Structure 1
Amino acid sequence: MLRQCLAIMRREVFYLWRDRGLRHILLFGSLLGLMLFYAVYSAQVLKDIPTAVFDLDNSAASRELVDKIGKAEYLKLVASTASYDDLRELIKQGKAVVGVVIPENYGRNLALGRQARVLAVIDGSNMIYATNASAALLTVTRTLSAQAGVSALVARGVQLQQAKDAYQAIDISEEAWFNPALNYAYFLVLALALNIWQQCCTLAACLNVIGERGMKSWLQIRACGISKFRFFASKSIAQIFIFMAVVLPLYILGFGALKLPLNCSWAALLLFTLAFAIAVHSIGTLASSFARNAVDAARFGMIIALPSFVLSGYTWPLEAMPVYLQKVAWILPQTWFFQGINYFAFKNAGWNLMAHYILAMLAIAAVCYGAAAVFIARS
């Protein structure tokens, strides 16, 4: 019996390797994705956001504000416009993402201790730029506001240090944990590469059952008296082994060469990934068991695999989605995996949480394999 299972597994590995297109997809798809995404996000944080200024005041105070904007860490002053329409056109053409309009009497209001309003125009068509630009501008204005407040108190006879203490009565100290530099590469690169990997694995698993029915060898296998359960169980073990073998170079390159953060142990990571590989394979096997042909099976698998990353809550919080979508998302193993990979790689969340996620993925796998077994038994 064991020898028979091993022979089926060797046969499955041979067939997967012989399929040149599928072999290249499994071997190189996720690796190329990892390198591509790392190159895209190699800057790690967004800097040099194009900024234009329209200064209606042209006072010493307004020029100081322009100078501060030009020296801001994440902003890059690209133009000083002569009109509001010119500023609008720059942003419309994509030459500037941020526009700062300094009104008349800006310097006079500051000198009199009055509130001085400045208009910040941000191109909201690119949310990544918009959120980073807003934070960068807020840092500049807070600094200048604090300086103006302190100067006003000093002008009233308050000692400099007392003025600083009075104006900064509450000192907020920000500290980012687990990703201190707020590095986009750390947050996105591995997840995007793993998304390609899971799609490739789903595509391969979709051939698990229907790929045999379309071959003449299927009649020979049935004539040998090999049970369907033993045959497809052996094939599944071989495919899951290949899925894990394919993800290993991805992890080694990501965590080793590219220095992506890994705070949990390798054993924990691989165990967690194995549970996900089993769950993904079960979905592909289920699609393969009731599909009429290999093309239909691949379509069913991709319908689930392609949108699952968006639904997983990795790039947009699950809590912000409609309730019905949240319920659908938690049915998918991709949600458990992509939510969990963040906890484990960044935070080393521990075995208690890991067990919950692993059991959820294995439960999904059991349901899918069970349904697939029913379809296979009827065929």
Structure 2
Amino acid sequence: MQQFKNFFSELQEAFKQELINTGRLNKTAIMLLLLMPVIYTIIFGYTYAANVLNDIPVAVCDLQQSKISRTAIFNYDTSDRFNIVKHVNSLDELEACIKSGQAKVGLYIEPNLDKRIKTALPAEISILIDATNVVYGSAALVAAEEINMNLKVAGEQKILERLSYYPDKALNVAYPAAISLRILNNPTNSYTNFMLLGLVCNGIQISLYLYTADTFIKNRSRRWTFPTALLLGKTLAIGITSLTSFIFCLWLAHTIFAVPLRAPWYEFLSLLVAFELLFITLGIFFALAFGRAVNAIQDTLLFIMPGLLYSGLSWPNEWVGSLPAYIRALFPITYLAIPLRDLSLQGYSVLLNNDIVVLFTGTIILALIDYVLLRYRLGKEAAI
């Protein structure tokens, strides 16, 4: 009975040590575990708040100067996606505008456009796109294809009307199959919905790494009798604090930035708890494996840098080679970012149960290793 009381006393002390330090609130825990993820959420949320790229700067070289060419230019200029910023007189000048950064897109209209159209020869309006930034390139390509299709159908309709077709009949002949497009799960094609929760995950893992990797190196003056009480007490304190911040970040993403949270909350919580427990035990491992706080933090930061890259957040896992597939299995964020986004946008994730099992299994293995390392450390310090 006395041993149980002593165990519970050390458990309580280890728990309080992470929340209250020398009689005051632990400012480090508040800053890293509570505030850092919230700051990440707000900063990245506003970064992607526009959701889509509008007013992409366009330079125009119109060598035809006809009604048809002016109609094409007008369609680009009135589109939300484009903003015509400059007119030039040659293809070389157009390319120079793009190279200098004055424009991201170039619209080149050949001098014999009208003649080719009237004689039923292939006519070309060239679109030059600067794809140095692939986000600009992709957005411009999709919008340009839509505008060009509308121009093509309108032109063919006019030609058929001159051949005595009624307008409705001419449109049906020019555009016989109406393409109906439905975007599922993320209908606005929003960058915020696509990226924000994954970046929040990255903020959480950084805050947990920075704090947990340091927590077992400091405050070792206390002689602990029960290593399990020390491990469990600190894990509970860090986990509850970080989980509170994580839930608040999800609420911020949903309330301020309109990120949907379609799955039941218990599924989100199950995934978050599994992820944070693994991260905490991993941080403890690094703290115990390295004697100095600087080394522990440096090595953990090096560990997390490729984690976001291999998580599948920005590039689909299906298109990553076989070797990186083995590498990304080592990073905990791999088992969080994609199922979290699926739960948010789809309302379910086929990866959820498997990833939770993997995270909890990793937690158990690391907890056992941490226990052995902690006993070794405590025994070594007691002998000094």
Q: TM-score, normalised by structure 2?
A: 0.90
For 1:312, the equivalent position in structure 2 comes to 311
Taking the aligned partners of 2:129 and 2:150, their CA distance within structure 1 comes to: 20
Query: AA paired with 1:158?
Result: Y
Structure-1 separation of matches of 2:368 and 2:313: 29
Q: Measure the CA separation in 1 of the matches of 2:375 and 2:177.
A: 70
Matched, 1:3 2:2: no
Deviation track 1:73-105 (CA, whole Å, cap 9, x = no partner) reads 311111111222322222122221000111121
Give the letter for the 1:315 counterpart: S
State the shift of 1:22 in Å.
Answer: 4.7
Distance 1:13 1:30 in 2: 17
* Contact 1:90-1:96 within 8 A present in 2 as well: yes
Q: Which residue of 2 aligns with 1:365?
A: 363
Deviations 1:312-349 (A, max 9, x none): 01011222222111111123210110011111011111
Equivalences for residues 331-346 of structure 1 within 5 A: 331-346=330-345
The secondary structure found in structure 1 opposite 2:282 is: helix
Partner of 2:78: 71
Give the Cα separation in 2 of the matches to 1:232 and 1:328.
28
Counterpart CA distance in 1 for 2:244 and 2:238 is 10
Equivalent residue of 2:49, what SS? coil
Is residue 2:91 matched to residue 1:93?
no
Equivalences for 1:1-379 in 2 at 5 Å?
A: 1=4, 3-4=8-9, 5-15=11-21, 19-212=26-219, 215-217=220-222, 220-221=223-224, 226-349=225-348, 353-379=351-377
Q: Which amino acid aligns with 1:370?
A: L
Query: Within 2, Cα distance between the matches of 1:345 and 1:188?
Result: 11
5+ residue gaps, structure 2, are: 378-384
* 1:205-227 deviation line (CA, Å, top 9, x unaligned): 21243335xx322xx33xxxx22
How many residues were matched structurally? 370
Q: Is contact 1:286–1:372 with CA below 8 Å preserved after alignment?
A: yes
CA shift, 1:156, in A, is: 2.8
State whether residues 98 and 122 of structure 1, in contact with CA within 8 Å, keep that contact through their aligned partners in structure 2.
yes
The structure, 1 or 2, with the larger RCO (C-alpha pairs under 8 Å, 6+ apart) is: 2
Q: AA paired with 1:337?
A: L
User: Which has the larger displacement, 243-252 or 89-98?
Assistant: 243-252
What is the SS of the residue equivalent to 2:96? helix
Identity %: 21
Superposition TM-score, scaled by structure 1 size: 0.91
Superposed displacement of residue 194, structure 1: 2.7
Q: The residue matched to 2:262 in structure 1 has which SS?
A: coil
Deviation at 1:270, TM superposition (A): 1.7
CA distance in 1: counterparts of 2:83 and 2:214, whole angstroms:
52
1-structure distance, mates of 2:129, 2:69: 19
- Kept in 2: contact 1:290–1:375 (CA 8 A): yes
For 1:228 and 1:36, how far apart are their aligned partners in 2?
Answer: 39
